Structure 1
Amino acid sequence: MDKNLISIDNHVFIKPEYLNHPHVSGNKLRKLKYNLLEAKKLNKKTLLTFGGAFSNHIAAVAHAGQENNFQTIGVIRGEELKDLRTLNSTLSVSKACGMQFKFVSREHYRHKTSKSFIEQLEKEFGDFYLIPEGGTNELAVKGCEEILEEVNEKFDYICCPVGTGGTISGLINASNSNQKIIGFPALKGDFLQEEITKFVNKNNWELVSDYHFGGYAKINEDLIQFINRFKKKYNVPLDPVYTGKMMYGIYDLISKDYFEKDAKILAIHTGGLQGIVGMNAKLKQQNKPLIV
């Protein structure tokens, strides 16, 4: 078995993508790799992208831009957040990396992919290289195909959290036909099936939508307790938005005999740990247990 994997028990292993970079970690590093190369090839000086106030993607683009000599612009969902005196940890770190923000209303944000919206951004900021929300495009999928290595062919099931669908698409493309790829969506809605289908031509995958805990960034005390127990037992931190929900789902499915007996399961830890600080700030306000 790959010595770089973390063994949870004889059947479950974790690929710790969160250790691949101190700041642009996990699947974000994979998604940005070829996009940054393309931006340089096109001689772009500025990266522009979209996200919420606690977005791992926003933080990753800010760090990657700083490291690779790009100016960065983040179009942030939520006009009420524009008071820079109250920036949360994600936006504070991104700002420290030089990212410029444009806060837009949630209604306006829904039109972020429209031609008129992009043209208005070009008028305001000039020329830029556009990276979609969550970073998912064909170049991102190409980068995520590199998560799986030859040594990972021994696994029967490969599991990953799903946000915009880029990471699981890369895993599907890189998988063998005898492997089953299982995605655990972090948000409600069935639009992901169609999104993923745009990037893949295999059918050895499935989305298990029972573990979103109410929607994107929604959690409860049961999930918090699971995350804290997991870290204490295995010394592996889980974020509450993505990887915590995936691991909770994996163990619940194991208890329900979803997996074949003696099957080897590989869980992709996609990072996202920077979001714990912001989540704990919200939990503290609500007098709820914190993520340790």
Structure 2
Amino acid sequence: MHTDDLSPLRPRLPSPLEPVEDERFARRGLTLLLKRDDLIHPDLPGNKWRKLAPNLRAAAGRPVLTFGGAYSNHLRATAAAGRLLGFPTIGVVRGDELAGRPLNPSLARCAADGMRLEFVDRATYRAKHEPAVLAALLGRAPEGTYVVPEGGSNALAAEGCAALGRELEGRADVAAVACGTGGTLAGLAAGFGGRTLGVPVLKGGFLGGEVRGLQEAAFGGPRGDWWLDERFHCGGYGRTTPELDAFAQDFEARHGLAIERLYVAKMLLALVSLAEADSFAPGSVVAAVITGSRDQSVSSR
């Protein structure tokens, strides 16, 4: 199978847009919709499909090298794509201390899908964009290897995620998405005519610059009306709190949807908090992008 044609994988596009009855929104004159990107593909759900698909077409069957932490959903999706489409994958994993330990379930799945895991120390990982570091990594990879950045976020990924915004155009006034590396937000905002909220799941306050850089690379400059609310990271990437877990359990009980904790729950918590603070104009339709479900995650970190 050639990766310039991904149609044999049968992605579910456009993804479903489902209204949900939630009195926390309804009593303020708001409508909540769930954009079920988690249903696009069982192995490449949500923004993983939207960001990887254009990169896989560009790779055109060559080996793919990419980056991630020990619980990276991006690594898992890339490994699954390699298995399904028949190309080699190399995952550069943050943390050389992991090399001598049993693989966690996430990395074990990557390995089972044929991904070659290369563990690097954290200093090297931080320097992964430097030419000398990247050259050393590629020197150990097959000739012609195509590099996809951490989280899959580059100009191609942002262009791919613009389709998400176009699918919501005319259907919602506000769209919200959880953010790790910023590629989904950059594209969503570019394709959507309403306001777009990004909810960072990492601490640090750096994401705004990343999103602006991705939009510059993909579209030649700023696109869309977007903003970040950095209050809901719950301690940072890979972290949750008892309060977040209680919120997610309540949302699951209300709506019968398994809520992924590290991204989706934080975004939904932000939306409910903003609705209760009357931050949205009455009558607004708010679309929450569900980028993955708890059933698709092997990590409870």
Deviation at 1:151, TM superposition (A): 5.7
Question: 1:29 aligned to 49, 58, 64, which one?
Answer: 49
* CA spacing shift, 1:3–1:133, aligned 2, 3 Å: closer
Q: Secondary structure at the match of 1:164?
A: coil
Q: Deviations over 1:46-92 (max 9, x none)?
A: 110000010000000000111111100000001111125x1111101
Question: 1:191 aligned to 190, 206, 220, which one?
Answer: 206
Aligned identity (percent) is 35
Instruction: Give the equivalent residue in structure 1 for 2:109.
Output: 93
Instruction: Give the equivalent residue in structure 2 for 1:13.
Output: 33
Structure 1 CA distance, aligned partners of 2:53 and 2:294? 20
Deviation at 1:272, TM superposition (A): 5.8
TM-score for both structures, normalised by structure 2: 0.86
Aligned ranges for residues 29-108 of structure 1 at < 5 Å? 29-40=49-60, 44=62, 46-83=63-100, 86-108=102-124
CA contact (8 A) 1:20 1:26 kept: yes
Structure 1 CA distance, aligned partners of 2:168 and 2:54? 23
* CA spacing shift, 1:212–1:125, aligned 2, 3 Å: same
Instruction: Give the equivalent residue in structure 1 for 2:190.
Output: 173
Structure 1 CA distance, aligned partners of 2:260 and 2:168? 26
Deviation at 1:203, TM superposition (A): 5.0
- Residue identity opposite 2:261 in structure 1: P
* CA spacing shift, 1:14–1:187, aligned 2, 3 Å: same
Question: 1:205 aligned to 226, 229, 233, which one?
Answer: 226
Q: Secondary structure at the match of 2:214?
A: coil
Structure 1 CA distance, aligned partners of 2:295 and 2:138? 30
Residue 289 (structure 2) pairs with residue 268 (structure 1): yes
- Residue identity opposite 1:6 in structure 2: E
Question: 1:239 aligned to 241, 255, 260, which one?
Answer: 260
Q: Secondary structure at the match of 2:249?
A: helix
- Residue identity opposite 1:148 in structure 2: G
Q: Deviations over 1:271-290 (max 9, x none)?
A: 163674322xx5xxxxxxxx
Instruction: Give the equivalent residue in structure 1 for 2:151.
Output: 134
Q: Secondary structure at the match of 1:199?
A: helix
Unaligned runs of 5+ in 2: 1-13, 216-221
Structure 1 CA distance, aligned partners of 2:50 and 2:135? 28
Structure 2 CA distance, aligned partners of 1:255 and 1:152? 25
Residue 275 (structure 2) pairs with residue 254 (structure 1): yes
Tell me how large the CA RMSD over aligned residues is.
1.8
Unaligned runs of 5+ in 1: 283-292
Q: Secondary structure at the match of 1:125?
A: coil
Q: Deviations over 1:171-191 (max 9, x none)?
A: 111011xx1100000001121
Instruction: Give the equivalent residue in structure 1 for 2:4.
Output: none
After alignment, is 149-158 or 119-128 more displaced?
149-158
Instruction: Give the equivalent residue in structure 2 for 1:115.
Output: 131
Instruction: Give the equivalent residue in structure 1 for 2:174.
Output: 157
Q: Secondary structure at the match of 1:277?
A: coil
CA contact (8 A) 1:54 1:90 kept: yes
Deviation at 1:123, TM superposition (A): 1.6
Deviation at 1:155, TM superposition (A): 1.1
How many residue pairs align between the two structures? 273
* CA spacing shift, 1:3–1:197, aligned 2, 3 Å: closer
- Residue identity opposite 2:241 in structure 1: N
Instruction: Give the equivalent residue in structure 2 for 1:287.
Output: none
Structure 2 CA distance, aligned partners of 1:273 and 1:222? 17
Structure 1 CA distance, aligned partners of 2:110 and 2:138? 21
Runs of 4+ in structure 1 off by over 4 angstroms are: none
Deviation at 1:6, TM superposition (A): 2.0
Instruction: Give the equivalent residue in structure 2 for 1:220.
Output: 241
CA contact (8 A) 1:78 1:105 kept: yes
Q: Deviations over 1:113-151 (max 9, x none)?
A: 110111101221232100000000111111111113456
Structure 1 CA distance, aligned partners of 2:280 and 2:70? 37
Structure 2 CA distance, aligned partners of 1:150 and 1:160? 14
* CA spacing shift, 1:105–1:256, aligned 2, 3 Å: same
- Residue identity opposite 2:18 in structure 1: I
CA contact (8 A) 1:54 1:275 kept: no
